[in-house]
Structures are given as C-alpha cells and as structure tokens.
Structure 1
C-alpha cells in the first residue's frame, strides 16, 4: 500500500493511500480506516433510497464527500436541481479533484453541485436553511457509535437529529449510513421521524453495512 499524501488537520491526521495492484484508494483518519474505493454499493443506496422515498426531489444535502460514490449517484438523478455537499476537511475536496474524480464521475464539475467546507454539526445549528431539502444523506462517520471525532456524536443525538429534521421540507427523507446496526439510534429516529426503515447491505467481511431511512412529517 503506497502513501499518496499525509496531511495534518485541526482534528488530527488524514492519509490517502493507494493499492496500485487492486486499483484501490483508501482514506485513514488518525490511524483508523475511514473509507475506500473498493465497493460503494451502500453509499449509492444511501442516495437512491433517499430520493425514491418521498415526493420528486429537487434539492439534496449530502453530509460528507468521502471518495465520491454518493455524489456520483446524486448527479445521475436529473430531477435534482440543487446538490449541496458539506465536507469538513478541505484536503478531502482536494483529493477528490486530484486523485479520486473518476470514482465520482467528475461530479464536482456538475453545475448543480455546491461544496460547503464546514463542520456539519456547527453548520446545522448555525447556518442551515429551514424546510429546504427534499432529502438529506449523512455519511460522515463509520456510524452513530463509531464517529471520526468525538464532536460528531452530537449529530446523532436528539438535538442533532432535530436540527437535521429542520432542514428537511415537509415529507422529506433523511438517510444515514452506518457500518453496523445501532438499535439505540434507530429508536432515537423513531421518536423524531416517521416511517423509519433499516436497509442492510451485505459486505465481503464482517457485519452488513446499514442505511437508515426516516421521513419528516408533513
């Protein structure tokens, strides 16, 4: 595995690595595996299910750029007129443009896409527009119980999810990616949203990935 770049951030170290033989890239955060380019099925499902769950969507918010699988799925939907991506780490945006654009289909060049470099938790409480998005897709951690940094835990509690719900248009859909099932998180969703669903996605090793879907009431 070749290290392409190592970058220090206010939240610690991010590393981009490449397995040239497998044609696979991965991003490591503070020594912990975060994401790679080997599959992407669950990231694409995150978007397709969120966009299929409610009224015909026009505006989508994606929390976390990652390696670009979710964004690639979003730009493929011609119904969308506005796609906003919240990404906390500027270097992840740089890596997408310099090394990973083929995994997103060069989606950052789509005129519908706006990238906001900011902390999602802070942005939701301070700047997020109300009743704006038809769907919100969150993929910034390995799951509600396995966060990249401790501050991200505030996204998955009642206050954080209430802030997310406020950005959704009535009847809009929230989709959350997780590396494993988290029953307590499902229960929290059930207290704030309607029609909570859990979609497992089998992986080659370990527990299935999970996509949580929940709808805001009208």
Structure 2
C-alpha cells in the first residue's frame, strides 16, 4: 500500500491544516487517515474517532481491567481489545508481561494496513512483533458469537462511547443482546472495560440489568469539557 500526500495539499507540519494521507470506502463506510502537525488522526464516516496526541484514555482502559483482575487474584490473564485504532491500547498492553495473550479485533482493513505498512506502525510495531499479540480482522460481535475462546478481559475502544457510536449497527454492541455476547466471551469473573467520551448512567444500568456485577466508572480528566471515562463491569463467577 502506498500512502501519499495529494498534490497542492497544505504544509504537513501546520496543525491548522490537516493533510489526508489515505481515504477508503469500506463495508462500514468511509475511513480516513489524516496528519495534523506531528500527530495522526482517524476519521470514520465523518466522525473524529481518535488521534495520537494523548494516550491516557487508552492506557487507563487497559490498566483498569488488569488491576481489577489482579485484585481478584487472576494471574497471567488473557486480553481481547475491541478496536485497533491508533494502537495505543495494544502497545500499552504489550509492555505488561503479565498479559498471557493479547488479541485485537479490527474490522477495517484500512486501519490494519496503516499499522502493518503505514505511518501508524511506529506506535504498534513492537507490540505486533510480540508473540503474545494477534490481530483478528473481523467484527467484534461476529468474533464473540463464533469463537470458543474465552478471555479474562475485554476492553472496548470502538466508538466514542455507548451513546455516541460511529455507525448505527454498533449500537447493538451496547444493547442487552450485545452485552450477552460480551459475557459469553469472558471467563467467569472476567472484566469488561468500555471507553467513552462522556459518562453514561444509562449504560451503567444496562450493564447491571445484563447481569454484570461490580459496575463502576473511572474518569480521565481532559483539557476541556467533561472527562473521558472507562466503564467497568465483571461477569459473575
């Protein structure tokens, strides 16, 4: 794959003028990779998804799940990450030797390409070279429905949150039916962690109604606006 800056595009070091590096039409809509100054950002169906400017949210997502498992006495757990994104979650998980196995589900071939042979590789190359890591090109719910593998932690960083999905079909993931599949994919006592751009009391209630226990929300402070959050829940043992 070749990524090139279009002729006549703005100065790539000017953060006020983002440069489009690649644009793809896929089965779930359009995905775009842009460079803004020194950083890269992913746009899905015209909606800003994430960028490489700050990975605190992604690190908390992984660490919160691991800490919950550690507190429960779970050693050498396995991890499934929903969404490859810019690779921060995968990269952070890979530096922790306690994770026994790290799988990432990503349904957009473009995003995988940007990591394997594009500019996002600098964030994920060492993690992808880790023998514990694997990328699964499929839809998350399809994987959870079809696999017989059970994970100790399931960390979701697919949308801007349960109340702000990138595509309408993603809403199923946060519904009772989708959460039932998340439970199916977890070991007893396994942890579900869901990143969100804003708190969602309604989603917390949905988690409880779906049979999850220990439902709580951790905040990540941001420069402006409401904090990002990670919703945490535990599958009953």
Shorter-chain TM-score category?
Answer: over 0.9
- Post-superposition Cα deviations, 1:38-95, rounded to whole Å, max 9, x if no partner, equal 1010111000110110212421100000001100111111122211110010110111
> In the alignment, which residue of structure 1 is the partner of 2:190?
172
> In the alignment, which residue of structure 1 is the partner of 2:3?
none
Is the counterpart of residue 133 in structure 1 residue 123 in structure 2?
A: no
> In the alignment, which residue of structure 2 is the partner of 1:162?
180
> In the alignment, which residue of structure 1 is the partner of 2:34?
17
Looking at structure 2, the residues matched to 16 and 120 of structure 1 have their Cα atoms a distance apart, in angstroms, of 22
In structure 1, the residue corresponding to 2:119 is in which secondary structure? Answer: helix
- The 5 Å alignment of 1:167-206 reads 167-191=185-209, 192-206=211-225
- Post-superposition Cα deviations, 1:95-134, rounded to whole Å, max 9, x if no partner, equal 1222112223531111111111011122222x1325x211
Aligned residue pair count: 214
Larger radius of gyration: 2
Question: Scaled by the length of structure 1, what TM-score is found?
Answer: 0.94
Is the counterpart of residue 77 in structure 1 residue 96 in structure 2?
A: yes
> In the alignment, which residue of structure 1 is the partner of 2:23?
6
Q: Is the 8 Å Cα contact of residues 198 and 212 (structure 1) preserved in structure 2?
A: yes
> In the alignment, which residue of structure 1 is the partner of 2:65?
50
Looking at structure 2, the residues matched to 35 and 96 of structure 1 have their Cα atoms a distance apart, in angstroms, of 15
Q: Is the 8 Å Cα contact of residues 87 and 118 (structure 1) preserved in structure 2?
A: yes
Looking at structure 1, the residues matched to 93 and 152 of structure 2 have their Cα atoms a distance apart, in angstroms, of 13
> In the alignment, which residue of structure 1 is the partner of 2:5?
none
In structure 2, the residue corresponding to 1:53 is in which secondary structure? Answer: helix
In structure 1, the gaps of 5 or more residues are none
> In the alignment, which residue of structure 2 is the partner of 1:102?
122
Looking at structure 2, the residues matched to 179 and 105 of structure 1 have their Cα atoms a distance apart, in angstroms, of 27
Query: Residue 205 of structure 1: CA displacement?
Result: 2.0
In structure 2, the residue corresponding to 1:164 is in which secondary structure? Answer: helix
In structure 2, the residue corresponding to 1:99 is in which secondary structure? Answer: coil
Q: Is the 8 Å Cα contact of residues 84 and 115 (structure 1) preserved in structure 2?
A: yes
In structure 2, the gaps of 5 or more residues are 1-17
> In the alignment, which residue of structure 1 is the partner of 2:13?
none
In structure 2, the residue corresponding to 1:135 is in which secondary structure? Answer: strand
Looking at structure 2, the residues matched to 122 and 58 of structure 1 have their Cα atoms a distance apart, in angstroms, of 22
Is the counterpart of residue 28 in structure 1 residue 43 in structure 2?
A: yes
Looking at structure 2, the residues matched to 104 and 114 of structure 1 have their Cα atoms a distance apart, in angstroms, of 12
Q: Is the 8 Å Cα contact of residues 115 and 125 (structure 2) preserved in structure 1?
A: no
